[in-house]
Structure 1
Amino acid sequence: MRKNRRTILSLLVLLITATSFFSCKDKQAETKDPNTADIIIYGGTSAAVSAAVEAKRSGKSVIVVSPDIHLGGLTSGGLGWTDTGNKSVIGGLAREFYHRVYNHYNTDEAWKWQPHSEYGNTGQGTPAMDGENRTMWIFEPHVAENVFEDLVKEEDIRVDRDEWLDRENGVVLKDGSIISITTLSGKTYTGKMFLDATYEGDLMATSGVSYHVGREGQDVYGEEWNGVQTGVLHHKHWFESDISPYVIPGDPSSGLLPRVSGEDPGEKHSGDDKIQAYCFRTCMTNHDENRVPFPKPEGYDPMQYELLARVFDAGWKEWFGKFDAIPNHKTDTNNHGPFSSDNIGMNYDYPEASYERRKEIIKEHEQYQKGLLWFVANDPRVPKDIQSEMQKWGLAKDEFTDNGNWPHQIYVREARRMIGEFVMTENELLKKKPTPQSVGMGSYTMDSHNVQRYIKEDGFVQNEGDIGVSTKGPYAISYGSLVPKKEECKNLLVPVCVSSSHIAFGSIRMEPVFMILGQSAAAAAVLALDKETSVQDVAYEDLKKVLLDKGQVLE
């Protein structure tokens, strides 16, 4: 009897112990933070996706916290006529992206509206479809987005979309490192390493990292092409004829036309807080079955385009100069000429603006650009030959289908730029000075769009800020330009708003380069985790070996 009691007591003890054990395990599972990962990436750009894929393939947990719903930034947002420069220096995941695009267009199904043979094979400097290297550099927006989505799905990468960083109280730092970030929805993400892969640099700025907005003076870094560039006329994006900026031509008392500044442009070579113009890279088509006529925007005012009417009156005939052809009878249409899709001078406060103000700026840009298209297609002052051709074009019905066929991403050509461990300048790009610790290469022209539209001393209007200067071949980009100063933050990398001068960023800012730098930044973050060190103390020789093994081109 006593033996049976002891047996029963023993079983009860075991049962209670087991129940307690599993209860504790359940509580641990419940309390484990689901928003924790080795690497937290803020942004939804091409750099963000590239970084996330690199992190995941390297065996690290990663969460992409994206303010965007659509992945890929400008690459999937209309910029399908890729600005590449020397394509031989595009390696790693960036090259994989363009290879996947190539594979898509190597199928009959890809050519819905146009036979492949009819499209031809024209690209920027090389064939659009490079059979030798199995890459495709020219593509439709939805194709790019599908490639990014495929990469995320294949690697099982978690992407939390429409999550906006709380820029007031959303970054927690301890001993010089970011511990967590919190979004406006109230979600908190905890990680060991963080990447800011946004065009705006919001995480970088909220973390207290130094940055610059605008153009540095020529003397800051000893550059020729920085600062105000009055009288420097590149790219044909300037007024070739004498055009009056006044409502009544030649009469200052009648007031200025819209979109002309009455302020002094500043002393040549001096710095300012102005930034190059933004626009949307619109995807157009002249294929009737897929064409949506240009919509007339609410609040349309033809007076906003009076300057363009005067440019047409002066005999300008290059309106269709940047209707660059992408597959299926579509275009990547970019700014071209003295008055075009670039909304000059209307974005100066964008980098530092609140989310609400940024939305206003984006909406104003959309209204301006839609009004511009409507004006050229409908206003009686437009030359008949240009207007009749323009009426054959419209927005592509099968692109940006959830946004009225309008691009979901404005072209933020420049916003904040970090001031990090190393600052890239035109001197490194022109090989006047060596670049230490290469983590990738660029090669595109140092390219700034116009910054302001002003009145010259002779009383006529002119644009200022457009620069196009060759880098005379590929150049290296320093690891130091991806990391903040160590005393400011030890576990943050910034592959988009990199540490560079205004004019150097004019070349670095190309989408393939952002993909390259996104991958390199993630590889560095992985090494910093493995070695339990700061991003500034990552051994470059270790990083170099990893990057070369991954197919990056460093020299």
Structure 2
Amino acid sequence: MKHIWLICFCSLLTFADTIAQTTTETDIVIYGGTSAAITAAVQACRMHRSVVVVSPDQHLGGLSAGGLGFTDTGNKEVIGGLAREFYHRIYMHYQQPASWNWQEQSAYGNKGQGTPAIDGTDRTMWIFEPHAAEKVFEDFVKEYKIKIYRNEWLDRKAGVTKKGQQITAITTLSGKTFKGKMFIDATYEGDLMAVAGISYSVGREARNEFNETWAGVQTDVFQHGHHFKKPVSAYKIPGDRNSGLLPLISDQAPGEKGSGDKRIQAYCFRLCLTDLPANRIPFTRPADYDATQYALLLRVFETGWNEVFNKFDPIPNHKTDVNNHGPFSMDYIGMNYDYPDASYERRKEIIAAHKVYQQGLLYFIATDPRVPDSIRLRMAKWGLSRDEFKDNGNWPHQLYIREARRMKGLETMTENEVLGRNKVSNAIGMGSYTLDSHNAQRYVKEDGTVQNEGDIGVEIPVPYRISYGSIVPKKEECTNLLAPVCLSCTHIAYGSVRMEPVFMILGQSAATAAIQAIDNKKAIQDISYEQLKTQLQKDKQRL
């Protein structure tokens, strides 16, 4: 009997030890590996609070380290705090001669988006290679000894434990549990927010819901040039409805102008290409290649369109950040509608489909004899950069999730705040970029021609404030979670807010608010804004 008791006692000790090894307790738990996640973690460390980052991603930095090196800055003067420090560190990286291994710095030039790429006066650099950005994020982690749990995926069925309106712990699919006083969802998808029972939106609001001019379906609005400028038949046999639609054209009606729907703006990978032979990997035929998927592009070429290379934006070392441009390009229009709420398995399928689409598109343009020679021969000189994304076949590890879930929070940023019609009094950061939505659908017009819809590009008159209430849930839903990425925004407002510098800004501000809530033993909805503002200004946020 005594022997049995000893066995049971030892088993209990082993079980307790196992639980201790798989349970981490800290002040702040950050879920996500994005740029916002890292700035939030650094801010927590600087304010002397314990923090862990639970990242589904192996690589840190999200899109900032995933190919989007031609930064969407808007007015760079409103970028402060840790976000500006990130771009200062990029500047310092490129001040080292060793960083210019494929190109002389003097030969690079100084082209940026709305700002010089290199600002010597402010010692910032806004354009960079993916690996340079990832190094900066990893340097932050090392300097502040931030504990990162990589490749840890939230259990979306039973992974959030709540006591009343307060999250007490989250659990990942590997069985690890993370207990905290405050939680920050810094993912592009908003999974923690959703599993915690916080309300959210997916899709486009109707124009009358928030009195927004650019909300909802926007047929016949063409502000970026990413539309069919000349008539192109949607049918396999031009003009013959009975022949069936060409691939990648929806058979659904676009919807009434101004109406809301569940469509979201298109995704793509931001590709890091080079035409330097010593660093170039030629485009190869993907395993699931289907040339018929690009038949519509051939018809676009037949109209004389020749803007394929207009968004091959230069970044250092003879490389480009390639974005969508034109009526049929890098955006896989209409193929992401179920992504925000999809299972992990389904999301992987969607990501893989986007990869095959873009790999096939590049291969098609570079090799298909039906492509005009002037375009085909030029594309054939390009390829993937051999020294980027080396553990992922030189392909970006992050799909550009331009929007997914958006929280229904304490306050909602709308077009009216972004365009300055409504004032924000409790700012935690600023934005300044264009109202920028990519196309949400490709449909057939009544005359049988094809058209894209959803592309919006409306200039912002002056920089705008982003409210604290937009990153905070309603009190009855949760009192200790902040969402600096999937914040409370309408679709059209999110088109401006969704920029990587802004996510870094909001990540830092979210961590500051979380710490003040801990220090004052208050719900995040009840902290003093004046106290928060004082700390943010001390940390050089621009409000």
Asked whether the two chains share a fold, i.e. TM above 0.5, the reply is: yes
* Pair 1:125–1:31, CA change in 2 (3 A): closer
Q: Structure 1: which 5+ residue stretches go unaligned?
A: 1-23
The separation in 2 between residues aligned to 1:159 and 1:113, in whole angstroms, is 32
Q: Does 1:293 align with 2:274?
A: no
For 2:408, give the aligned amino acid: I
Pairing 1:219-258 to 2, within 5 Å after superposition: 219-258=208-247
Q: Aligned residue for 2:493?
A: 504
Q: Does 1:526 align with 2:526?
A: no
- Describe the SS at the equivalent of 1:75: helix
Q: Aligned residue for 1:445?
A: 434
Residue deviations 1:342-383 (CA, integer Å, cap 9, x gap): 000000000000000000000000000000000000001110
The separation in 1 between residues aligned to 2:378 and 2:444, in whole angstroms, is 32
- Describe the SS at the equivalent of 1:312: helix
Q: Structure 2: which 5+ residue stretches go unaligned?
A: 1-12
1:34 Cα deviation (Å)?
5.2
Choose the corresponding residue for 2:101, options 98, 112, 122: 112
Q: Does 1:358 align with 2:341?
A: no
* Pair 1:323–1:31, CA change in 2 (3 A): closer
Q: Does 1:101 align with 2:94?
A: no
For 1:479, give the aligned amino acid: Y
The separation in 2 between residues aligned to 1:124 and 1:346, in whole angstroms, is 28
Q: Aligned residue for 1:8?
A: none
Q: Does 1:132 align with 2:130?
A: no
* Pair 1:32–1:529, CA change in 2 (3 A): farther
Choose the corresponding residue for 2:37, options 32, 48, 51: 48
The separation in 1 between residues aligned to 2:332 and 2:240, in whole angstroms, is 25
Q: Which structure's CA Rg is the greater one?
A: 1
Q: Aligned residue for 2:392?
A: 403
Choose the corresponding residue for 1:315, options 301, 304, 314: 304
For 2:228, give the aligned amino acid: F
The separation in 1 between residues aligned to 2:18 and 2:373, in whole angstroms, is 70
Choose the corresponding residue for 1:392, options 381, 393, 414: 381
Residue deviations 1:131-172 (CA, integer Å, cap 9, x gap): 000000000000000000000010000000000000000000
The separation in 2 between residues aligned to 1:152 and 1:34, in whole angstroms, is 21
Q: Aligned residue for 1:327?
A: 316
After TM superposition, the score normalised by the length of structure 1 is 0.94
1:234 Cα deviation (Å)?
1.2
The separation in 1 between residues aligned to 2:185 and 2:288, in whole angstroms, is 37
Residue deviations 1:162-196 (CA, integer Å, cap 9, x gap): 00000000000002100000000011100000000
Choose the corresponding residue for 1:61, options 50, 62, 81: 50
For 1:453, give the aligned amino acid: R
- Describe the SS at the equivalent of 1:340: coil
For 1:430, give the aligned amino acid: L
Q: Aligned residue for 2:525?
A: 536
The separation in 2 between residues aligned to 1:255 and 1:28, in whole angstroms, is 64
- Describe the SS at the equivalent of 1:453: strand
For 1:303, give the aligned amino acid: T
Q: Aligned residue for 1:78?
A: 67
The separation in 1 between residues aligned to 2:17 and 2:49, in whole angstroms, is 22
Q: Aligned residue for 2:267?
A: 278
Q: Aligned residue for 2:175?
A: 186
The separation in 2 between residues aligned to 1:30 and 1:220, in whole angstroms, is 48
The separation in 1 between residues aligned to 2:327 and 2:23, in whole angstroms, is 52
For 2:453, give the aligned amino acid: E
Choose the corresponding residue for 1:344, options 319, 325, 333: 333
The separation in 2 between residues aligned to 1:543 and 1:163, in whole angstroms, is 31
- Describe the SS at the equivalent of 1:332: strand
The separation in 1 between residues aligned to 2:317 and 2:89, in whole angstroms, is 18
Bigger shift: residues 383-392 or 513-522: 383-392
- Describe the SS at the equivalent of 1:142: helix
Q: Aligned residue for 1:487?
A: 476
- Describe the SS at the equivalent of 2:149: strand
Pairing 1:159-170 to 2, within 5 Å after superposition: 159-170=148-159
1:32 Cα deviation (Å)?
8.5
- Describe the SS at the equivalent of 1:93: helix
Q: Aligned residue for 1:17?
A: none
Q: Give the conservation status (yes or no) of the 8 Å contact 2:234–2:245.
A: yes
For 1:516, give the aligned amino acid: I
After TM superposition, the score normalised by the length of structure 2 is 0.96
1:40 Cα deviation (Å)?
0.1
For 2:207, give the aligned amino acid: Q
1:295 Cα deviation (Å)?
1.8
- Describe the SS at the equivalent of 1:519: helix
Q: Aligned residue for 1:306?
A: 295
- Describe the SS at the equivalent of 2:416: helix
The RMSD of aligned alpha carbons is: 1.3
The separation in 2 between residues aligned to 1:465 and 1:287, in whole angstroms, is 36
The separation in 2 between residues aligned to 1:314 and 1:219, in whole angstroms, is 38
The separation in 1 between residues aligned to 2:20 and 2:58, in whole angstroms, is 29
The separation in 2 between residues aligned to 1:160 and 1:537, in whole angstroms, is 31
- Describe the SS at the equivalent of 2:350: helix
The separation in 2 between residues aligned to 1:339 and 1:28, in whole angstroms, is 57
* Pair 1:76–1:272, CA change in 2 (3 A): same
1:436 Cα deviation (Å)?
2.6
The separation in 2 between residues aligned to 1:171 and 1:100, in whole angstroms, is 36
For 2:66, give the aligned amino acid: G
Choose the corresponding residue for 1:455, options 435, 438, 444: 444
**Percentage of identical aligned residues:** 64
Aligned pairs, number: 529
- Describe the SS at the equivalent of 2:392: coil
For 1:336, give the aligned amino acid: H
For 2:200, give the aligned amino acid: Y
For 1:266, give the aligned amino acid: G
1:458 Cα deviation (Å)?
1.3
Runs of 4+, deviation exceeding 6 Å = 27-30
Q: Aligned residue for 2:10?
A: none
The separation in 1 between residues aligned to 2:540 and 2:447, in whole angstroms, is 55
Q: Give the conservation status (yes or no) of the 8 Å contact 2:418–2:460.
A: yes
The separation in 2 between residues aligned to 1:42 and 1:388, in whole angstroms, is 45
Residue deviations 1:499-519 (CA, integer Å, cap 9, x gap): 010000000000000000000
The separation in 2 between residues aligned to 1:374 and 1:461, in whole angstroms, is 24
- Describe the SS at the equivalent of 1:55: helix
For 2:324, give the aligned amino acid: N
1:435 Cα deviation (Å)?
1.1
Q: Does 1:157 align with 2:178?
A: no
Choose the corresponding residue for 1:424, options 386, 406, 413: 413
The separation in 2 between residues aligned to 1:320 and 1:457, in whole angstroms, is 31
Choose the corresponding residue for 1:470, options 454, 459, 468: 459
For 1:368, give the aligned amino acid: Y
Choose the corresponding residue for 2:360, options 351, 362, 371: 371
Q: Does 1:92 align with 2:81?
A: yes
* Pair 1:63–1:240, CA change in 2 (3 A): same
